Structure 1
């Protein structure tokens, strides 16, 4: 009896940890069309927090985005609070049913995304430089527009299933 109770408690705990599905946002507004939002100049402000919630690094990012049909380029220029700079160029393709795929030089393989309603979820592996080594970390990236100009982005970062921290970003489209 005790074993069964323990198994039920463990199952309930794991069910409580399950991530939402992007389809749960299908009726939410405003609808997020990546091609429309990430088109032109977009500015962003963000921070990385470790798993304890401590702010480790702050940053700004300027994006120059352009689309030709279903093919897009998102050129990101990051400036970090420690003075370092980084550039990432995403090459994104829109597929059927709200799906997207993307590549960037520091992304291992291909990123996959799914949009539904006002939400876009990206999953990818990032080659992250850490103290002279490169870690391959998994990124679970969720984007939600507030209105036609502001979009909020939260990314959970993990390695071997262990949560390392979160990236929180706010984006604003330039007029």
Structure 2
């Protein structure tokens, strides 16, 4: 009877993971089936993360579980700055249940539109790639559940719509099982300017 009990506990934990407050953040670039970021190479407007994520941005988002039901709504204020190829994205979240969360990303721009990033609750290093108007960003996040820490994978896509608006959709999974999706809309408070640095 031990094995069924373990399965029940595992399913319960997965359900609880699916309603935790999460951020968009941010690939399974090398081995995932499905669309590749290079497919968007000809799409415009061209996205430059150092230009778009510079200054103050506002975002509105929802988290939906595997059935498609909205289980969390949230707003984000992002203060972003760059020093050459090194960027800081300071995210302040407010959730519909009144809880708050803060995440500070430290990004590094690389060659040919590649980016890496770290944050306190991200396991190891996040990696991403820009192509055309799209950015694919992947990472593993450490989420506390019932006194344990679960490592949850995020496959995160961003699409620049115009000089102020970008759409973001991230899929969460654990053990290859989809837990839910995070969908956001970012808006810059000021129009795009020349690339910083």
Query: Taking structure 1 as the reference length, what is the TM-score of the superposition?
Result: 0.89
Shift of 1:131: 4.1
Structure with greater strand percent:
1
- The yes-or-no answer on 1:143 pairing with 2:186 is no
RMSD: 1.1
Which residue, out of 57, 60, 82, partners 1:45? 60
Question: What residue number does 1:116 align with?
Answer: 131
Which residue, out of 164, 167, 187, partners 1:152? 167
Counterpart-to-counterpart distance in 2, 1:131 and 1:49: 21
Counterpart-to-counterpart distance in 1, 2:52 and 2:185: 13
- The yes-or-no answer on 1:104 pairing with 2:104 is no
Shift of 1:148: 0.5
Question: What residue number does 1:127 align with?
Answer: 142
Question: What residue number does 1:62 align with?
Answer: 77
Question: What residue number does 1:31 align with?
Answer: 46
Query: What SS does the corresponding residue of 1:65 show, helix, strand or coil?
Result: strand
Deviations 1:62-101 (A, max 9, x none): 0000001110000000001111100000000000011000
Shift of 1:128: 1.6
Shift of 1:134: 2.1
- The yes-or-no answer on 1:18 pairing with 2:29 is no
Q: List gaps (5 residues or longer) in structure 1.
A: 1-16
Runs of 4 or more above 4 Å deviation: none
CA shift in 2, pair 1:78/1:35, >3 Å: same
Counterpart-to-counterpart distance in 2, 1:155 and 1:132: 25
Deviations 1:85-141 (A, max 9, x none): 000000000000110000000100000001000000001001123344321100000
